[in-house]
Amino acid sequence: MVRELTSIPIAAWAVVFMVEVARLGDGRAGYQPLSGPVWIAFSGFCLVCALWHSFTFLSLAGRIIRVPRGERYVPPRVIVGGMFGLLAATTIVIAGLLVMGGR
C-alpha cells in the first residue's frame, strides 16, 4: 500500500514542474523559479518516493514477467537483474546527456 501512496507526491511534483515549464513561456519577467528550503525538502522527499516506487516495482518484475525458455521459464532473478541493469544503463545515458548539456 505504501508503494501506491508514493505516486501522490510524485504526481504533485510533476504537476508543479509542468506549471513551471509553462511559466517559462512568459519570458524572464514572468518566470519565478521555485526555490528555498521547503521546495528542496519536498523535491528530496519526492525523489525518495520515486526511488522507492521504482525499486519495489522492479523487484516484483520477476514474479510478474514470465519469459519462456524451452519447457521452463527464465529465472526471476535474471529478469530482476536485467530490469535493474536497464535502469542503471538508462540512468547513465541520461546523466551523460545532462552533463554534456543535451548535445
Bridge partners, residue 68, by sequence:
73
Q: Domain ranges in the chain? A: 2-99
Which fold does the domain 2-99 belong to in CATH? Answer: 3 helical TM bundles of succinate and fumarate reductases (1.20.1300)
**Confidence band for 47, pLDDT divided at 50, 70 and 90:** very high
pTM for this model (two decimals): 0.74
What span, in angstroms and rounded, lies between the C-alpha atoms of 30 and 102?
Answer: 25
Mean pLDDT is lowest, of 15-19, 27-31, 54-58, 63-67, for 27-31
Predicted pLDDT at 29: 73
